[in-house]
Every structure is written in C-alpha cells, then in structure tokens.
Structure 1
Amino acid sequence: MGAALPLLNSHFSALFPMNNLLRCVLAAGTLLTVAGAQAQVVVPPTTGRAPDPAPTNLPQAKPAPTKSAPYAGGMKINISADGSKYVRIMTAHQLWVRYNENNTGTVSATEEATPDQVDFGLRRSRVLLVSQLNPRFLVVTQLGINGQSTISGGAPGEPTGPGKKPQFYLHDALVEYKVNKYLSVGGGLHYYNGISRQTSFAAFSLIALDVPGTQSPVIDAIDQTGRGLGMYARGRVGNFDYRLAVNDAFRNNVSSTPATLATNVAQFNPRSRGKVLQGYFDWEFLDKELNLVPFAVGNYLGARRVFNLGTGFLYYANGMYARPQQAPTPLPTTTAGAWAIPYAKHDLSVLSADLFYDTPVDTAARNQTAFTVYAAAYKYNMGPNYVRYGGTLNPGSGSGALRGNSVPVVGTGTAQTIQTGFLLPRRLLGPKVRLQPYASYIHGRYEGLRREDGDIQDVHILDGGVNVLLDGHQAKVTLNYRARPDFNNVENIDYRPEVTMQLQVIL
C-alpha cells in the first residue's frame, strides 16, 4: 500500500492538471484515507465479554463521636508549621438574672421608690488574645466590658440612657520578654498586680459567684479595671513565684477639693501623680501552676493539687488627702481658694497574706471529688476614716453611695475573706454535669464606720450557692444567695436578700 502512493499521485496529476497547492491537499487527504484503512486491518475489533464498569466509591459516613472533644483553652491559630508561633483566641460572657431587695431609699431611673426588683445584666464580656512569636516573646491583649445593665455600664453622657453602648475598651495590652527561666520582664497595660492572688484573678474560674471586692482597694481610682500602666518583672525560682510592678498612677476620678471634703475623712488625692509600687510573692508547696498569663485560677476542679501561701503589698506616696479642721465659712468660690485651705497628704499602703488550697479528694472514676479553699487577710492604710462603697451591677439609680445593693467594700482598717467549695461525685448527675456547692464570707472592720457610742460597726457579708458545671468552667450556671447589710442606718443594720443566677460560657 505504501508503494502505490506515488503511482496514485501521478495518476491524479495526469487526469487533472492542477496547481501545486491543490495537489498537496489531495495527496494529504489520500494519505489519511489509506492510513485509516491500514489501521483498521492491523487492529482487529475486540471480541469477548465487555469489561466490568469502574467501581463507584461513595464516601463513607464517619461514626458520630461518643463524646465531645476536651476543651483546649481557646481557638489556636498556628502561624508557623511547628506551632511555636501562634495566636490563641478566647471569648467569654457572664449573664446575670437577679432578684434584689434594695437598700433603704433606693429609687428607679424615673425617681420612683423601688424597694425591690428583678433585673438583667452582663457582668463581664471579654475577648482575649494570647500570642507568641517564639518562646521568649509574649503578647497578651484583652478587650471587653464590665457591668452593663439598663441603667449603668454604658457610655457616659449618652442622651438615650447611660446603660447603652458600653465602651469596648482595653483591659490588657502587654508585651513580655523572657530573659531566662527565672525572670521575665514586660510592660504595657498589665494585670501583674500586687496585694493578693485574687487581685489578679481569672474571672471565669472562680469558686463563688464573684470576687469579694476587698482584693482591689484602688480599682478605677488610680488604675484601669485593676490594671496598671507601667513595667513589671516576674518569674519563678524553684517553688518561689514572684511578681513586681511599678506603674504610673492614673489620674483619679475624684472631683473633690479641700473645701468639699468632710472633716477628717480621707479621699484619693486628685493632685498626686506619683508611682504605684506593687508586688506579690507566693510559695508553691505542691504542684506548680502555669504562669504564662497573669490570671490566677480560682479552682482546678480536681485537675491539680495546689497549696500556696502568699503575701503582697501596694504603696502610693501621697495618694490620699484629708482636711483635719472644719472648712471656713463662707466657702471659697474659686478653685484656687479651695486649694488654699490647709489639708494633709497621706501615703496609701496595703498589705496582705493569703492561702490557696485546691486538691482532688476521691479520684475513683465514679466520684472524682475535689475540695477548694481560698482565704485572705488585708490591712489598709488609706488615710483617716476612709470608706469606699460599691455594689456589683448596682440596680439603684442616682449617685447615692448606699443605693441599690451597695455595701462598704474597703476602708482604712482590716478585712478578711474566705471562699470554699466542694465538687460532688460525678455519679450524681452523670459523667458530664457536675455540682459544686460553695460558701463565701467577708468581714470588714473600717475605722470610718462608727456608731454614736464610738465603737466600730463591723461589716459581715455571707454568700452561699452552687455551680452547675455543664462542661467544666467553660459552660456553667451559678445560683447564689447573698445576705447583705444595709448601712443606711449604722445604728441598726438590716440585712437584705440578693438572689442571682449566672450563665457563663467560654469559647
């Protein structure tokens, strides 16, 4: 067949004289036709049974997990292949539903007498980011709000109401460098505070509903939500853990002058702009706690055996002031005249000692019980007769110090607190849901709280409740009852009930 091609080509040329281009086209077509015929002869048709069709592999459904994966402390985003550089993100919320019998004389936002009420509030709402560039560099950022209700916790001056549009502000913004295994130094807006363990508490792992308030005597007066702006050093040597800080005092929120002070009653000095020195030291007798971030765990639910003894301090020179004599009459009408009135400056100092014990009790699989206790003692030197009042998510309207649920929180004098809880056996409600009943007691003895006979009227606050742990601290409901003293009449203290349900979720 191949030898016939030239002859066939010559035959076509003789019969049909054409130009060279046309001859090339005809020759190519002839070649393809012959090649196709030859291919049909060389490759015989397939005989026999047709091949089986290709198997169809459908994706198999994975079996449903028998239990949820353990929580690993937030969402971790690795920014290096080995995971040494990462960003960890956590978000958490605490919602309160509460019945409160208000203190004497409490009014609503519409100036109506309000002896009691049921209200809702956001105790805390936070976003936390922890980042490491390498094992030596740490960055911690926390944003959030505290204490928003329909009458408080919002942006000041809002025409639509002070409870709306709370400021989502910085709680923590620190950068840290690890010098060696014994020392890390850092700075920024930080929570490495002095005084006590609970001064730098992890708000979402507490034993009781909330902290007592005695742990933060200068909160939002010369700091920002318990945070200082400055430098710190921290570390651990053997079983000894320490933190030291020097911060600039925030300009305080006191608008008083010597002319407006009560005689011989101290207040934060609005003209003091010194350094605040703080420190806390503790000895870890049993398990060593993780200390990557500044937040001290409230309780471990039996995961660790911890026994720590600690002590701490805070010092702020000339941080308080008082007018020892009666104000002149008539009072000065100018600011210069008001500050010309003689007054005395007082150093602000606080000392503390505390104990933290957290341990599993029965480690059997069907029990896994645990016991926790935290106790602290404080000595405050804050100038003559100083007393500070406060009420968490205060439902009372107005500016009265003793409205709503306010109690004396700190003052020149002493205070002691104790919180204890017991994690009940897991067999009670199944493997996941756990119960942790707890009790809390606060005692304060402040020299500014005196009856007519001159004796000090002590402060006693009792809390009791139960944590319903749906998924550890990550999802829990807390029911709390508080017996709270009403100090509107220091000669006759009445105790008011306060019942709170808290829903807490951490992701």
Structure 2
Amino acid sequence: MKKCLFGVISLLLLMTNNLIFAQDYWKNHQLNLNESGSNYIKLTGLVQGWVRNMEYNPGSTIYGYSKNSGTDLGIRRYRLILTSQVTDRVFFYSQFGENNFNNIADRKQGFFVHDAFADYAIDKTKLQIGTGLSGWSGLSRFSAASVTSIMGLDSPIFLQSTNDVNDQFLRKLSVFVKGKLGKVDYRFEWAQPMAIQKSPSYNAATALTTTTAFSAEPPKIQWNGYVQYQFLDQESNLTPYTTGTYLGKKKVFNVGAGFIFQKDAMWHLTDAADPNSIEREDMSHFAIDVFYDAPIGAKGAAVSCYGTLVSYNFGQNYIRNSAIMNPTNGTTNTNLLNGSGNGFPMFGTGTVLYAQIGYKFKDNLMGKTTLMPYASVQHANYDRLHDAMNYYDVGVNWLLAGHNSKLTFSYQNRPLYTANSDLTDHMGALVAQYQVFLN
C-alpha cells in the first residue's frame, strides 16, 4: 500500500512538473522551442462567413434555371496557418484552407495548400532567401494582402494580376529574396508559372483565337519585385502578407513601386483563318503606391489610406472577368461581356487607379466595441472597353474585438458591359461578413 501511494505521489509530481514546464513554454498561443521564445511553433486560424443579397447579371442561370437576383450564404475564406521559427535563421510557413465555398461549389474538394515555403536568413535583417509555394509576389503592397487585417470587405483582388490563371490564388512556385536595407523593404521573386491548362477558366476549344489570352505553351519564367520605403514605423516582413490596417496601433507611411514580367506569356491569332498566324506578347505590369495608417488623438481613433496607380499590359485588348464566390453558374445572355452572376471585367490591358480610405472611431465607442467606416473605388481605363470601368465598395466594420472578431456591412456596385464593350448599366450587392481570427 505504501509503495502504491508512493507511486501515485511520484506520478502526480511528475505530471505537475510537466505541466509547469508546458506552461513555461506555451505562451502567446505558441509553443516555444527554447526558453527565450525566439524559436517557436504557432498555429492560427481564420474564418470569414458571408451573407449576400444581390442583383445578378442579366441572363444568369443556376443549373439552367433563370435567376435575376437572390440571397446566398458562403464561406469566403477558411484558413489554418502553421508558422515556425525553426532556428534563429530558418523560418517555415504553411497555410491551408479554402476559398469561395457556397451551395453550388464542389463538395469536399475545396481544401488545399495555399502556402508552403521556407527561408534562410543569410543576414537576419538584410537578406533572406527562400523557396516553395508562396505569395512573395511583386507589383504592389496589396498584391499580397493579409486577409486577416484588410480594412474593407475584401482585398483589391485586381492587384493579383494572374489570380488562378497561372498561379494558385496568387501563390507561385518560386525562389525569392527579401529583406530590409535601412528603411527600404524589398522582395524579388523568380517564379515558375503554373500550366494554364489546369486553370478553372481554361477552355481548349477557345484557347487560341484573335482575342488575346494566356498562352498554352510551356510558360517562361516570371519575374516579380516590390520595393517600399518605410518613412515612419517599420513593418514586419516575416511573411509575404501586408497588414491592411493597424487600427491605430502603428504609425506607418510607405511609398512603394513594383513590377511583374513574363516573356511570351500571351498570344493571339492575327488571322482567324490561319491557325499558324500566332503573335506572342510579353506580359509586363508596373505599379506605384502609397500607404498611410496612423492613430489620431489619444483615444484610439485612427485613419487608414491607400492609393495605387497600375499600368497593366496583358497584350492587345486583353480583358478578364472575375466573379467572387459566384452564386450562379450559367448565362443565356450572349450580348453581355460580364458573364453570369456577379462577374465584371476586373482585369485588362490599360491603367488602373485604386484608392481606399477608412476612419476608426475612438475605442469603446459602443460599450467595448467601435466602428470603422470605409470606402474604395477601382477606376480602370482598359483598352478593350469603350467606357471607364468603375467598381465601388462602401461599408462599415463593427470591431467587436479588433480584427479578431468583427462584422462588416458593405454595398458593392459593379458595371455591366455589352459584348461590344459599351457600358450599359450598374448592378448592386449588399454583403455582410463575420470574421473570427485566432492569433
């Protein structure tokens, strides 16, 4: 009996010691791999649920049934993120999840790898080199936006210029370098584009026509770069994803410039009757942008502003629609350029001016919560369109617990174009999003 009692006491002491040890090493939602916490493993998560009521593009159908408008539910994004500072010089990042899951999406097939990359710090500040599937893309700040902290309902998707055409929702297989030289933050990427034959929108029957499209030939290397000068508080570049708004926690003022280039990325026929009359064109994009995000006063109020000017060259008269979490899957209207549901010409050869602004009211405006209204506009002059393309998003965030728990209410307005590229009308959508972010 004494031996049994001694054994139980010893086991309890061992469990207590292990528990104390675990508490010492489990801090800030991460498992520390050393006493200082400089090496760690961290698991975070995100879910964004949408409820929408919208006008559908004329002629839209759902499995052949006509539908002019409707209300739909969906999961805009779901993420599980594993981050690890393996050693003082080795960093690992992986992200899993799905996008745009609604009632007509493929079931049990949407969960996929978003990121899987590692980098090695040759110099812990000035130079890191890495490889894998990642979002270290070029062009602009919000070409790789952190979806956990975006100010509006959604990030400016048009800045992900090849989104799901020859990449995986922005991410590319690549070798990249990044770092900070004083107040200069830089990233450059050498990427292998993915085969467009695996793109959801690829159609072999219409792959090569007189209309410019992405080439189906084996792709050549794509070059990406983005450099920004950070005048005030310095931002982390541990991952590719840039903060949307700090909600008054930082004072940031950055000016940046970037590019994306891929030789012979595009093609078209110069003569519809001659399948050998192929003309290849390079894809080259350039952008400049400015970002300001800072507190105002001493009670937690803040302002956030972003603007970018982009020059897109996808080749002669290129245009591409996008329909975020499209609630429809067909159309009977052949005289509409937009396609079905909520599609509109988001991408194209030409110039784009984008701006967003938001104001966060003081902390504890409504109990322990506060509000942050915002507005954004994408104004594009695409060569293919006879009239300017304007897309608006106006809304308000109800910050229940900062970005960790927030409700966003938004009104979106998109243009409609005829097949002849004439502006004909506008359509609206009301969207509510609830976000939960575990960090």
TM-score between both structures, scaled by the size of structure 1 = 0.77
Q: Identify the residue that residue 417 of structure 2 maps to in structure 1.
A: 487
Whole-angstrom CA distance in 1 between matches of 2:28 and 2:74: 25
1:412 offset after TM fit, Å? 0.7
Q: Identify the residue that residue 270 of structure 1 maps to in structure 2.
A: 216
Q: Identify the residue that residue 410 of structure 1 maps to in structure 2.
A: 347
> For the Cα contact (< 8 Å) 1:94–1:504, is it kept in 2?
yes
1:262 offset after TM fit, Å? 4.1
Cα deviation 1:345-378 (Å, max 9, x = unaligned) = 1001110011100010111xxx320000011111
Whole-angstrom CA distance in 1 between matches of 2:205 and 2:255: 41
Q: 2:381 aligns with which of 418, 442, 445?
A: 445
Instruction: Name the amino acid aligned to 2:375.
Output: A
Cα deviation 1:49-82 (Å, max 9, x = unaligned) = xxxxxxxxxxxxxxxxxxxxxxx99720123333
Cα deviation 1:404-442 (Å, max 9, x = unaligned) = 001111111111111110001235312x21100000111
Query: Whose Rg is larger?
Result: 1
Q: Secondary structure at the match of 1:218?
A: coil
Q: 1:91 aligns with which of 45, 68, 77?
A: 45
Q: Identify the residue that residue 77 of structure 1 maps to in structure 2.
A: 31
1:344 offset after TM fit, Å? 0.6
Q: Describe the shift of the 1:439–1:118 C-alpha distance in structure 2 as closer, same or farther (beyond 3 A).
A: same
Q: How does 1:25-104 map to 2 (within 5 A)?
A: 75-104=29-58
Deviant stretches of 4+, over 3 Å: 254-262, 488-492
Q: How does 1:35-434 map to 2 (within 5 A)?
A: 75-109=29-63, 111-152=64-105, 154=106, 164-180=107-123, 181-252=125-196, 253=199, 255=202, 261-263=208-210, 265-327=211-273, 340-363=275-298, 367-398=299-330, 402-430=339-367, 432-434=368-370
Q: Secondary structure at the match of 2:341?
A: coil
Could you say which structure has the higher strand fraction?
A: 2
> For the Cα contact (< 8 Å) 1:104–1:486, is it kept in 2?
no
Q: Secondary structure at the match of 1:383?
A: coil
Q: Identify the residue that residue 502 of structure 1 maps to in structure 2.
A: 433
1:491 offset after TM fit, Å? 3.5
1:261 offset after TM fit, Å? 3.9
Cα deviation 1:194-231 (Å, max 9, x = unaligned) = 00000111011111111222201111111111011010
Whole-angstrom CA distance in 1 between matches of 2:156 and 2:27: 26
Q: Secondary structure at the match of 1:426?
A: coil
Q: Secondary structure at the match of 2:66?
A: coil
> For the Cα contact (< 8 Å) 2:308–2:355, is it kept in 1?
yes
TM-score between both structures, scaled by the size of structure 2 = 0.88
Unaligned stretches of 5+ residues in structure 1 = 1-71, 155-163, 329-339, 450-455
Q: Describe the shift of the 1:357–1:113 C-alpha distance in structure 2 as closer, same or farther (beyond 3 A).
A: same
Q: Describe the shift of the 1:215–1:272 C-alpha distance in structure 2 as closer, same or farther (beyond 3 A).
A: same
Q: Describe the shift of the 1:424–1:411 C-alpha distance in structure 2 as closer, same or farther (beyond 3 A).
A: same
Whole-angstrom CA distance in 2 between matches of 1:277 and 1:260: 24
Q: Describe the shift of the 1:362–1:276 C-alpha distance in structure 2 as closer, same or farther (beyond 3 A).
A: same
**How many matched pairs?**
403
> What's the % identity of the aligned pairs?
33
Whole-angstrom CA distance in 2 between matches of 1:299 and 1:135: 29
The CA RMSD over aligned residues, in Å, is 1.8
Q: Secondary structure at the match of 1:292?
A: coil
Q: Does 1:468 align with 2:411?
A: no
Bigger RCO of structures 1 and 2 (CA < 8 A, at least 6 apart): 2
Instruction: Name the amino acid aligned to 2:264.
Output: N
Whole-angstrom CA distance in 1 between matches of 2:322 and 2:207: 21
Instruction: Name the amino acid aligned to 2:363.
Output: R
Q: Describe the shift of the 1:469–1:495 C-alpha distance in structure 2 as closer, same or farther (beyond 3 A).
A: same
Whole-angstrom CA distance in 2 between matches of 1:322 and 1:373: 39
Unaligned stretches of 5+ residues in structure 2 = 1-25, 333-337
